[in-house]
Structure 1
Amino acid sequence: MIAGLRCKVCGLRTLIDAEHADQAGADYLGFILHPASPRYVSLAQYQAMQTLLPGRKHVAVAVAPAVTDLAAMRDAGFDCFQLHFPVDLPAATLAAWSEAVGRDRLWLAPRLPPEAEVRPEWLELADTLLLDAFRADTFGGTGQTGDWEKFQRHQQAYPQKRWILAGGLNPDNVVAAVEATGTKYLDFNSGVESSPGVKDPQKLARVVAALRSRHG
């Protein structure tokens, strides 16, 4: 999207929204396969659009999926797998995910309470970690701003990993987020919408303009 930065637009439900994200220069297109989300698409709906979608990397977003469901996503042709999970999920489940899709394609997204930290054993299972804003009753997509200090601390402690910043990113705060954290990876969702599940091309354009004004 911008030199030196990689961006994902998540919660895409229609071809037109995927095209808006593509035109804005998104590097990754995210599709939420979690039925409780207002941005939910079924695997069948994704597959119906698949051949018409822009040729960016496609990311399956799910919450603590069964390995059989993850295998179905893999077989559907997704490039990456962003899996949200509670911190008390058994480590064996995460290991099974890593084995199913490979650590290079697995994006672990733990729901970290304010006092919690990323566990070292998770780092052995995935090359990419995504930190989102915490809310006890949901997984991502809240519009709340994430903990930038915690993100920066983890990124500095484990620089060999790819760290993706999520949580309430929008045209008005994205430059501050990049400057505060030093992140190279950004995940947009509700902050570039006109309503839940409907992406706003003007907000996407404003994100691009804001980043270009500071980062070229």
Structure 2
Amino acid sequence: MVFEIVVRVIATAWLVVLSVLDVRRHRLPHPLTTIPLIVIGLLAMGCMLVNLRDGWSQFVADPLALVLAFVAILASDTLLALIPAAGALATAFCCGTSAGQIAATGWLVALALAKSGIMGAGDSKVTMLLLALSPDVRLVICLGLAVVVIGGALLTWRVGWATPWLILSVVRDGLAGRFPSRTGEKGVLRVPLVPILAAGALVYLWLVWRVG
């Protein structure tokens, strides 16, 4: 119980600091995003090797799936990333637990959103770290609802009745393969995403985590 409270407090402080930095600088520091992600990748590898001594099991499959997802992140500038990404999904869904499936899938979805330009690189790392902390479908729901509700409210506040047409335009461009990373467009409606993600994560950490 005490350990869980400590984890929540540390995670909350981390999210608050990142939110402030995102609002003020529109950039997230590597020591608070990239380095923790590398640490998680190394820990997953160590966990996989330790559990492998006892033979193949879900305790090997879950960290292996995360390691493969991490390799896909490292190779994400090339098409070779598709190989470890496919391996991560195959390992997670064929041999892993639901936690491993959520973590690996979440990492790869966040990576895809970052590479397409829909989500910033720092935002995707924050999402990955949150899913590594708690690979729970309820966390995914909280993050998704925060983006839809808060992001939708901010968008409506800024553009008013043009919101549905703007969303339709973005969806149409995406279906046509015209992602921001390919067009070079940043858009005039860009808002810091970390505070929105933090809102969803905090609801999960303090209201949902212990429920059920």
Q: TM-score if structure 1 supplies the norm length?
A: 0.28
Q: TM-score if structure 2 supplies the norm length?
A: 0.28
* Bigger relative CO (Cα 8 Å, ≥ 6 apart): 2
